[in-house]
Structure 1
Amino acid sequence: MGKVKIGLIGCGKIASCSHTPAFKAIPGKAVITAVFDLKRENAEKIIKDNSLKAKIYTSVDELLKSGIDGVAINTPNSSHHELTIKALNAGVNVLVEKPMAVTLKQADEMIALAEKKKLHLQVNQSLRFAPAYVKIKEMIEAGKIGDPIHIRCLRASGSSPDKGWSPGAKWFVQKKFAGGLIMDIAVHMADMMGWYFGKASKVYSMSSIKIKGNDVPDNVTTLFDFANGATGVLELSWTIPVGGGLLEIYGSKGTIRLGFNPDGIEFATKPGKYKIVKPGKFKTSQEWFADAINGKKGCPVPGKTGRHALAYSLAIAESGEKSKAVTPSI
């Protein structure tokens, strides 16, 4: 097939800061030819800001009939299932933002249809493509830390995305759009923890709403009981003024840390003796997507992997609501 034609459904923050520049960075493999947004000005802006030679379509259906090979779906969480099903039925490969859906039934329908249509369904679980996180996975797989013992992840900011990262995007904090801290951040971090340590047998979560007017949790702490005997803690917040992003991974032979040193990953086999590990370069989600459309195997986040991330998120949410341990449906 060669260079693939890409469409964008949704031209907001994630499309402008992630998908568009990433596709532009692989001009020999992909080109954005079609865009759609409910707000036409968003589509016009993304074309102007990125000098795209793309056509603006007035409906999703028109865009899907435009001859594109793949589409990136960058819309509120509650719309991912419907748009993915529509794209697959139109014969278009799909790169959908996380979470891939809002229920496991929806995720299963998306996966089954992609298999039936023999199309590529990829979920943008971006940490699985991020160089530092991929390098850490390689280190764990190589036995650098020995047997996994404990993993701790903190991810915090001083405001919710509608006020900080993407001002005005209220869907991030609205239940009717399946917004909230869990579907926005836990879907990444819990997935990463399971990627590193294997399946969690149980999660126990404590959640709260501290921001006035929100109807979804903005503070969540979750304990992980992994099947291999290891444990984990995930701490998330939208109300810590100075923010924070830390990762600690402890094993029987060594420790890996991220976020403590601006130079990158730290690794130690003796107390206090950390050395810096450089991650190197790895393919982006968008390059994997283009390659997969052309038949290349091995994409890190096919639909089934995105389903795992969703299962963790839903288990965390259920545990927080019911104040009891929950087994993720993986």
Structure 2
Amino acid sequence: MLKVGVIGAGAMGQNHIRAYSQLPGVELAGIADVDKKRVEELSRQYNTQGFTDYKEMLKTGMDAVSIVVPTTLHKSVALDVIAAGTNLLVEKPIANNIESADQIIDAAKKQDLKLMVGHIERFNPAVMKMKELIMSGELGKIVSISTRRVGPYNPRIRDVGVILDIGVHDIDIISYLYDSYVSEVYTIAGKEIHSFEDHASMILRFDGDKAGVVETNWLTPHKTRNFTVIGTEGVGYGDYMEQKVVIHDKEWIKEAKVEKKEPLMNELQNFTDACKGKCDLLATGEDGRHALEVAMASVESYRCRNVVKLLGSYTPNLREKHDIKVVV
């Protein structure tokens, strides 16, 4: 039985708590949050131990934990978890700057621990099915992937713009579907109702002149979450919310069979299975770092109105200029 805990019991943290309590072969062994009342209520509800100091929880011998705290705290909490010899899942984004992300990744590697980043859309059944179709050659050679993630503004988001808050999901998904990292980004963005950018269109370049296009905003009254994959043999249309995939080829329009399931359950299943040595992680620390780096490059691009090239594993100009804040 894998002993797991959750650090941070806000809205997303409570989802982790619920999901872990339902996973087979997993014991929800602890919950930690600075809100004593919330901890007491949740520990009673899920019949587990509650802590107001996560360091005390770590002393009980956890095998793995989810870190679901404000992003500015990711580095300090993650390093404490790693020092305790505990595998960790860090909610996206991995950190509030590239230097902190590197420190988390390096520390986990030195301790030979599993480090996952919560890029949950990788575990959306529609994305998983599209990845399967791409790998099978169903669509031929893929030349372009585009996404649309638009909808009304959530007033809890105050410290960051739409690119870092929700655009980062699609940056990661396009990279995942291509199985490749972004080399250049050009972004047009602006702000209408927010102090940071609230609408953005990003063009991403990948090796072999493959393209990625991300459209995102907080302005549209109607919530839309979809993606399109264009190949030489067909076009695939995916819907994140409906968990639906439709393929158009030379002969047919056909809907793929998608087994619908909550993405978070898929994510935590992969994480806990990896901690047991049963599989590899589907979203690594390096993947999380790349998504953060591209998002920060996108912000830089729209501010300077230029293409921003990513230099690889280390991008000093971005590291020095940005220190983002994101509330999970």
2:141 to 132, 144, 147: 147
Query: Any idea what SS the aligned residue of 1:200 has?
Result: coil
| Structure 2, unpaired ranges of 5+ | 313-328
Residue 27 of structure 2 aligns with which residue?
31
Residue 288 of structure 2 aligns with which residue?
306
AA partner of residue 276 (structure 2) = N
Q: CA deviation at 1:192?
A: 0.6
Give the total of aligned pairs. 308
Q: CA separation of 1:224/1:82 partners in 2, compared to 1, >3 Å: closer, same or farther?
A: same
- For the pair 1:182 / 2:163, whether they are aligned, the reply is yes
Residue 217 of structure 1 aligns with which residue?
197
Residue 211 of structure 2 aligns with which residue?
231
CA distance in 2, matches of 1:312, 1:45: 39
8 Å Cα contact 1:97/1:123 also seen in 2: yes
1:121 to 115, 120, 123: 115
CA distance in 1, matches of 2:243, 2:49: 41
Residue 167 of structure 1 aligns with which residue?
none
Report Cα offsets for 1:107-138 as digits up to 9, x if no partner: 11111111111111111111122211011011
Query: Any idea what SS the aligned residue of 1:80 has?
Result: helix
CA distance in 2, matches of 1:97, 1:329: 25
Map 1:253-272 onto structure 2 (within 5 A). 253-259=233-239, 262=242, 264-270=244-250
CA distance in 2, matches of 1:250, 1:136: 11
The runs of at least 4 consecutive aligned structure 1 residues that moved more than 4 Å come to: 260-263
Map 1:160-199 onto structure 2 (within 5 A). 160=154, 163=155, 170=156, 172-174=157-159, 179-197=160-178, 198-199=180-181
CA distance in 2, matches of 1:209, 1:30: 44
Query: Any idea what SS the aligned residue of 1:287 has?
Result: helix
Q: CA deviation at 1:265?
A: 0.5
1:42 to 38, 44, 47: 38
Query: Any idea what SS the aligned residue of 2:188 has?
Result: strand
8 Å Cα contact 2:9/2:31 also seen in 1: yes
What TM-score do you get using the length of structure 1 for normalisation? 0.87
CA distance in 2, matches of 1:159, 1:76: 19
Q: CA separation of 1:260/1:92 partners in 2, compared to 1, >3 Å: closer, same or farther?
A: closer
Percent of aligned pairs with the same residue?
A: 29
8 Å Cα contact 1:131/1:281 also seen in 2: yes
8 Å Cα contact 2:51/2:57 also seen in 1: yes
- For the pair 1:21 / 2:6, whether they are aligned, the reply is no
Q: CA deviation at 1:262?
A: 5.0
CA distance in 1, matches of 2:60, 2:191: 44
Q: CA separation of 1:329/1:62 partners in 2, compared to 1, >3 Å: closer, same or farther?
A: farther
AA partner of residue 118 (structure 1) = D
CA distance in 1, matches of 2:137, 2:100: 37
Q: CA separation of 1:291/1:228 partners in 2, compared to 1, >3 Å: closer, same or farther?
A: same
Report Cα offsets for 1:189-221 as digits up to 9, x if no partner: 10111112233221101222222xx43322111
Bigger shift: 287-296 or 186-195?
287-296
